[in-house]
């Protein structure tokens, strides 16, 4: 799978295929349905299966105050789409020129000339072009005139509601990691830079990696069972988000205890963590003995959640 950041001089093997255009934030099950149809159409037309997305999200330029925190960073998004089978992801740079293109101009310049698309797949709420003037009805007319096939995929329904990035964002913000997992193709993943903390965890026998510079949505305060990824290895992880009321601290922190890690320092490295489920809310403990007892329970629960997920993922044939 190739990740490209432009469409100038696109290689011949990436032209003349099937394409879907969108933000694909989080890469959820609804996105997977669209990609599955793109793969089918790519086979029909004898070309590549492409995902065309924008970097950054256009709303970050148009209405930055309204821009929601992302669910994925670009490389993670590309990998999730690669896991679904696409041949290339084009992360087109969002700039003033792109945003000024009319729907007709965007269609002619990008879809017809640059991509030479033979097939398109979109959802019914797809918009493109300046001022979002390009509706799905406009796209139907343009593709018909250009003799490009167009498939419109209805939104996926899970639990009586449409699957969407905004719905998943609300679940994660509320700490409902199980609910989010039911709608994502992979567990919600967050990353951050490991920085120095107070060192209390190590003194108690539960060393933690303190994360900073987190660039995706932060779940609500609480203790979570998860999976930490270090140098390609996966470890059970107990993740604490929030203050440390037992020690009289109100500042929000993100602390990750990697179960089975050899204890070597990770300062300055990027640590990625998958969230599997929320274990409990943060609370103040009467003393260190009560705190340590609870931490032992959290670590045991995290190990079990990790083992259960790894087994289920293996049986389902999930990505390594």
Buried b (16+ CB within 10 A) or exposed e, 257-291: bbbebeeeebeeeebbbbbbbbbeebeeeeeeeeb
Cβ 190 vs Cβ 220: under 8 Å: no
Q: Does residue 204 register a pLDDT over 80?
A: no
* Same structural domain, 289 and 234: yes
- Answer whether residue 268 is part of any domain: yes
Place of tokens 């389902």: 316
Q: Are residues 26 and 101 in the same domain?
A: yes
CATH at residue 125:
3.40.50.620
Is residue 143, in this structure, part of any structural domain at all?
A: yes
Tens digit of pLDDT for each residue in 136-189? 999 999 999 999 999 999 999 999 999 999 999 999 999 999 999 999 999 999
pLDDT above 50 (res 299):
yes
Find the domain containing 149 and state its range.
2-158
Residues 195 and 297 in one domain: yes
**How much is the mean pLDDT over the chain?**
93
**Which has the minimum average pLDDT: 21-25, 51-55, 205-209?**
205-209
What pLDDT does 262 receive? 85
pLDDT for 309 beyond 50: yes
- 14 and 119: one domain? yes
Structure tokens at 56: 């950054």
For residue 251, tell me if it sits in a domain: yes
How far, rounded to the nearest angstrom, does the alpha carbon of residue 32 sit from its chain's CA centroid? Answer: 13
Q: pLDDT tens digits for 220-245?
A: 999 999 999 998 899 999 999 998 87
Give yes or no for residue 28 having a pLDDT over 50: yes
Residue 297 covered by a domain:
yes
Q: What is the pLDDT of residue 320?
A: 46
First to last CA, the chain: 16
Strands 249-258 and 233-244: antiparallel
Same domain, 254 and 122: no
pLDDT tens-digit readout, 107-120? 999 999 999 999 99
Do 131 and 199 have their domain in common? no
> What angle is formed at CA 117 by the lines to CA 73 and CA 153, rounded to 5 degrees?
65
Task: Give the pLDDT of residue 182.
Answer: 96
| For residue 318, pLDDT beyond 70 | no
Looking at residue 202, its pLDDT comes to 66
Whether residue 175 lies inside any domain: the answer is no
Nearest to 129 by CA among 96, 98, 95, 91: 98
For residue 108, tell me if it sits in a domain.
yes
Measured CA to CA in angstroms, residue 118 lies from 12, 115, 183 at distances of 14, 9, 30
**pLDDT tens, 41-83?**
999 999 999 999 999 888 888 888 888 999 999 999 999 999 9
Residues 226, 127, single domain; the answer is no
Q: Residue 300's domain is classified under what CATH number?
A: 2.40.30.30
Percent of the chain residues past pLDDT 70, beyond the cut: 98
105 and 128 Cβ atoms separated by less than 8 Å? no
Average pLDDT rounded to a whole number, residues 19-39:
98
Number of domains composing the chain: 2
Q: How many residues does the chain have?
A: 320
């Amino acid at each position: 799978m190739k990740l490209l950041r432009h469409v100038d001089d696109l290689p011949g093997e990436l032209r003349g295929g099937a394409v879907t255009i969108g933000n694909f934030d989080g890469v959820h099950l609804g996105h997977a349905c669209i990609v599955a149809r793109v793969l089918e159409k790519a086979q029909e037309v004898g070309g590549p299966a492409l995902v065309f997305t924008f970097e950054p999200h256009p709303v970050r330029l148009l209405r930055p105050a309204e821009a929601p925190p992302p669910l994925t960073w670009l490389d993670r998004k590309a990998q999730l789409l690669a896991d679904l089978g696409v041949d290339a992801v084009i992360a087109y740079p969002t700039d003033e020129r792109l945003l000024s293109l009319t729907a007709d101009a965007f269609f002619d310049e990008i879809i017809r000339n640059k991509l030479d698309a033979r097939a398109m797949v979109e959802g019914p709420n797809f918009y493109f072009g300046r001022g979002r003037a390009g509706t799905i009805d406009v796209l139907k007319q343009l593709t018909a005139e250009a003799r490009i096939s167009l498939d419109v995929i209805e939104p996926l329904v899970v639990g009586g509601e449409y699957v969407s990035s905004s719905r998943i964002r609300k679940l994660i913000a509320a700490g409902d990691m199980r609910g989010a997992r039911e709608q994502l193709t992979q567990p919600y993943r967050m990353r951050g830079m490991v920085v120095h903390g107070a060192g209390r965890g190590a003194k108690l026998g539960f060393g933690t990696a303190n994360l900073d510079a987190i660039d995706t949505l932060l779940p609500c305060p609480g203790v979570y069972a998860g999976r930490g990824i270090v140098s390609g290895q996966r470890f059970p992880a107990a993740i604490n988000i929030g203050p440390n009321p037992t020690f009289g601290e109100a500042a929000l922190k993100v602390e990750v205890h990697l179960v089975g890690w050899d204890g070597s320092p990770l300062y300055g490295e990027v640590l990625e963590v998958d969230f599997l489920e929320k274990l409990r809310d943060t609370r103040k403990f009467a003393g260190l003995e009560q705190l340590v007892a609870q931490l032992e329970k959290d670590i045991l629960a995290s190990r079990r959640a990790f083992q259960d997920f790894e087994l289920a993922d293996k049986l389902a044939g999930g990505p390594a």
